[in-house]
A = this chain, B = another copy of it.
């Protein structure tokens, strides 16, 4: 790391100084971080990148949003294993066009996510980039030994559920693209503000994941980063099962449906292929589905049963209310291509 970059990273991550405790032995400032893991836990590790022009534009995300969302997408992966996020490491590749102050705002968003989800930044790397800004975040969490929830555990007879609502992040992005085409970036009718928030400031479902990790009869679990269709396909392939979901059971918020009608788009398409909702989709033994729904209701967490797992080669079907059925494509899509 060149020296000017080193002084940047000290400035951006100064908030992580003197942070030992809670199992952290060595934080930022040595060759590597060191932490302990209690003997009844296992470590969960994932990483997820965000690249300017590929995952976001200056016109669609505030700098703080970029940092915040880069953490949410990773925390969501920890939640999808039924785990608790603990530590993060950040690699930032900074092009000349991004000022140190703008990068500092990215870290502001990261530290916001840190406060909300109990995460600490313990290391990283800061390098120059020739063109676009790149963020690569590593998230380290923990889960009870042998108790991580996997994609591969769905069984015929399971019910399929999803937390929260889906399709909202894609609606928000659709709006931001429209605004970008027609007017000043970031200005839109405040009525649609909640949609924009769903795109820029998603939540990770750590509480729901913990509830599922402790519940009985849970099968597979995945987070909705690439759209329901793609996530269901991953479960179908990893578990070797067929999945059937009912179109009219998909939890799509009223405002999303209203916005879709206004702009002549299909809200169900956003739910299936939009992605970035960071909800959890999974399966539970059919006989335990109602008990699970009640557990979620008692915690004030949103929960919907949307379909079922069947024996058969990996497939995902969408059932219409008239009983007709269509096979869903595997693909999420890349919004910025």
Contacts and interface: CB of A to CB of B under 8 A. Distances in A.
Given A39-B39, A128-B54, A132-B130, A46 B25 contact: no
A89 B47 contact: yes
B129 A3 contact: no
Number of copies: 2
Contact of A138 (B36, B54, B89, B151): B89
Contact residues on A (Cβ < 8 Å of other chain), bracket? 35 or more
B136 A34 contact: no
Contact of A125 (B48, B83, B330): B48
Interface string A56-95: 0000000000000000000011101101000101010100
Contact of A46 (B81, B123, B230): B123
A45 B139 CA distance: 11
Interface in A15-35: 25-26, 29-35
A28 B146 CA distance: 17
Contact of A2 (B36, B124, B145, B332): B332
Contacts of A138: 45, 47, 89, 138
A149 B141 CA distance: 24
A242 interface: no
Given A125-B48, A129-B54, A330-B3, A134 B36 contact: no
B2 A148 contact: no
A223 interface: yes
A34 B139 CA distance: 12
Most buried by B among A29, A47, A139: A47
Contacts of A139: 32
Contact of A145 (B36, B145, B152): B36
Most buried by B among A52, A77, A123, A138: A138
B124 A31 contact: no
A228 interface: no
Contacts of A47: 89, 91, 123-125, 136, 138
B32 A45 contact: yes
Contacts of A44: 32-34
A226 interface: yes
Nearest to A124: B47
Interface string A98-140: 0000000000000000000000001111011111101010111
Most buried by B among A51, A89, A140, A145: A51
Given A1-B226, A49-B136, A130-B132, 17 more contacts: A3-B330, A26-B81, A31-B81, A31-B151, A32-B77, A32-B139, A32-B141, A36-B43, A37-B37, A45-B123, A48-B125, A51-B134, A55-B127, A91-B136, A128-B337, A131-B132, A134-B136
14 contacts: A31-B81, A32-B45, A33-B45, A34-B143, A35-B42, A45-B138, A46-B123, A47-B91, A47-B123, A48-B125, A51-B127, A93-B136, A125-B136, A128-B337
